[in-house]
Amino acid sequence: MLLIDPWITNPANKNGKEDLAKITKADLILLTHGHGDHIGDSVALAKATGAKLVSTFDLGKAMAQYGGYPAEQTGMGTMGNFGGELTLLDGEVKIAFVPAVH
């Protein structure tokens, strides 16, 4: 399972805490960028599931050093730079790193 920018406890989700507790399995957590509404519950989910972080190198390093993401669940195999691509989960998932402004 791949989770993208998982903010399950978003105030708009009145059952957020219960829904978060139900997620017990995830292979990867992809963070598109470092805004709080995109990082969301990624650290709690990583600790609960063992999911590896998929992100740019700079965001991955910051999440491990300062954001509480388990460092052993980050690494070269799941991080990239803009213009790069990763193929993960035995070829089931292909990630393209592209810049986006919002």
Ramachandran sector of residue 60 (left: φ over 0; alpha: ψ -120 to 50; beta: rest): alpha
Domain residue spans of the chain: 2-96
* Confidence band for 100, pLDDT divided at 50, 70 and 90: confident
- Top-level class of domain 2-96: alpha beta
Q: What is the pLDDT of residue 101?
A: 80
Structure tokens at 75: 């690494």
Residue-averaged pLDDT of the chain: 96
Structure tokens at 33: 């960028």
Number of Cβ within 10 Å of residue 97's Cβ equals 17
Q: What's the residue count for the chain? A: 102
pLDDT (tens digit, 9 = 90+) per residue, 24-44?
Answer: 999 999 999 999 999 999 999
Q: What is the pLDDT of residue 102?
A: 73
